[in-house]
């Protein structure tokens, strides 16, 4: 094959020497229209979608805008197609007014500036505004769990491609102003799954669209975290229960049967102590309050070893073994 420019033998339609000259001599140029860039998130509007800038994106932009000038060749279209097919973006960087894109064609390297038009994408426009679809009202948050609740809500909202436009500390908890109902529901479900919670929805009239004669509502999602956690021992009257799940299922330590606590109203937490197993048959422990030998119930049917430490709870004159301690 002969080079389309110099006529010498070449593996391609243009030889390496002519390709380098073409890229540095001003005959190769790009008519790239300014691309819209969100000044908030840095995404670029490409094919009517806001996307993170990428090498593939700029390769497509360069290919679609590549032109040749001052060349009179019968094979001009073939040469142009060859150049487009072999464009490879090496890197790109953003400055205040443009993207600087470095590219190569068959190891010949050059660069081009892609002008930008600064704007704010619709998503960021919503996030920067005070718009919200509803409020996630989280209550009964233990101090040690505040950061974790924040992280869990933020993760749920971001996975729904939504935003928290406002976070407000209120008496008894935190209110999150969220931009979509999908994110509200997902956040509530995540909190319920992790902590156990009562969830209720309440619509309130926000305003009225006079043009469409339609009422606009905001939704409040109230999430009351359970005051008890998995592993807690709770009591009410004669009943004493070890909580095994966030759904309120557990084991009645008096009977050893599985139960479900439908409401925690009237229940209180029982202190759990560490005790030493003195004997396994019958089961004797060292009373952690009196340091005397005492009988103990084993409702969980744990395999006990002498001189092993266990977790115990006291209720109505009886000790109950509720778990194993790690240390001997």
Q: What is the pLDDT of residues 10-43, one digit of tens each?
A: 888 989 888 888 888 777 888 888 999 988 788 9
Are 321 and 279 within 8 A, CB to CB?
no
Task: Report pLDDT for 165.
Answer: 86
Judged against a pLDDT cut of 70, whether residue 181 lies above it is answered with: yes
Are 305 and 324 within 8 A, CB to CB?
no
The model's pLDDT over 245-259, given as tens digits with 9 standing for 90+, comes to 888 899 999 999 999
- Sheet containing strand 293-295, edge to edge, reads 293-295, 283-286, 272-280, 309-315, 318-324
Question: What's the CA gap between 133 and 179, in Å, rounded?
Answer: 5
Task: Report pLDDT for 214.
Answer: 58
Are 300 and 321 within 8 A, CB to CB?
yes
When pLDDT is cut at 50, 70 and 90, the band that residue 327 belongs to is very low
Q: What is the mean pLDDT of the chain?
A: 87
Task: Report pLDDT for 263.
Answer: 80
Per cent of the chain over pLDDT 70 is: 92
Taking each helix axis from N to C terminus, what angle separates 146-159 and 181-195, rounded to the nearest 10 degrees? 140
The number of angstroms, rounded, from the C-alpha of 12 to the middle of its chain's C-alpha atoms is 49
When pLDDT is cut at 50, 70 and 90, the band that residue 128 belongs to is low
pTM over 0.85: no
Judged against a pLDDT cut of 70, whether residue 129 lies above it is answered with: no
Task: Report pLDDT for 151.
Answer: 94
When pLDDT is cut at 50, 70 and 90, the band that residue 221 belongs to is very high
Torsion angle of the four alpha carbons 304, 307, 312, 316, in this order, in degrees rounded to the nearest 10: 100
Angle at 33 between CA 30 and CA 36, to 5 degrees: 135
Question: What's the CA gap between 79 and 4, in Å, rounded?
Answer: 8
Question: What's the CA gap between 219 and 172, in Å, rounded?
Answer: 19
- Sheet containing strand 87-94, edge to edge, reads 49-51, 44-46, 35-38, 108-119, 98-105, 87-94
Per 3-state DSSP, the chain is made up of helix, strand and coil in percentages (nearest 5) of 20, 45, 35
Task: Report pLDDT for 328.
Answer: 35
Closest CA to 156 of 137, 133, 181: 181
H runs (alpha helix) in 29-121: 55-65, 76-85
């Amino acid at each position: 094959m002969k080079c389309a420019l110099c006529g010498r033998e070449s593996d391609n339609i243009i030889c390496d020497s002519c390709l380098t000259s073409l890229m540095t001599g001003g005959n190769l140029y790009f008519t790239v229209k300014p691309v819209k860039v969100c000044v908030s998130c840095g995404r670029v509007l490409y094919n009517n979608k806001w996307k993170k800038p990428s090498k593939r994106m700029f390769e497509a932009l360069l290919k679609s805008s590549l032109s040749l000038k001052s060349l009179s060749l019968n094979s001009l279209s073939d040469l142009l197609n060859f150049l487009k097919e072999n464009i490879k973006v090496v890197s790109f960087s953003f400055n205040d007014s443009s993207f600087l894109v470095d590219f190569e064609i068959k190891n010949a390297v050059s660069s081009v500036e892609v002008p930008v038009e600064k704007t704010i994408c619709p998503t960021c426009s919503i996030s920067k505004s005070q718009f919200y679809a509803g409020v996630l009202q989280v209550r009964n948050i233990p101090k040690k769990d505040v950061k974790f609740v924040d992280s869990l809500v933020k993760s749920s909202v971001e996975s729904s491609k939504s935003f928290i436009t406002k976070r407000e500390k209120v008496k008894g908890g935190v209110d999150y102003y969220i931009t979509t109902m999908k994110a509200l529901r997902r956040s509530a479900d995540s909190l319920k799954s992790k902590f156990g919670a009562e969830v209720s929805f309440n619509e309130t009239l926000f305003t009225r669209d006079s043009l469409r004669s339609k009422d606009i509502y905001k939704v409040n999602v109230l999430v009351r975290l359970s005051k008890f956690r998995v592993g807690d021992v709770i009591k009410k009257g004669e009943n004493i229960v070890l909580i095994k799940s966030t759904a309120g299922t557990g084991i009645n330590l008096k009977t050893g049967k599985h139960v479900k606590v439908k409401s925690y109203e009237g229940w209180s937490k029982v202190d759990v102590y560490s005790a030493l197993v003195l004997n396994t048959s019958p089961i004797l422990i060292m009373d952690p309050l009196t340091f005397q030998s005492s009988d103990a119930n084993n409702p969980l049917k744990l395999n006990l070893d002498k001189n092993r430490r266990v977790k115990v709870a006291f209720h109505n004159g009886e000790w109950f073994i509720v778990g194993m301690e790690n240390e001997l």
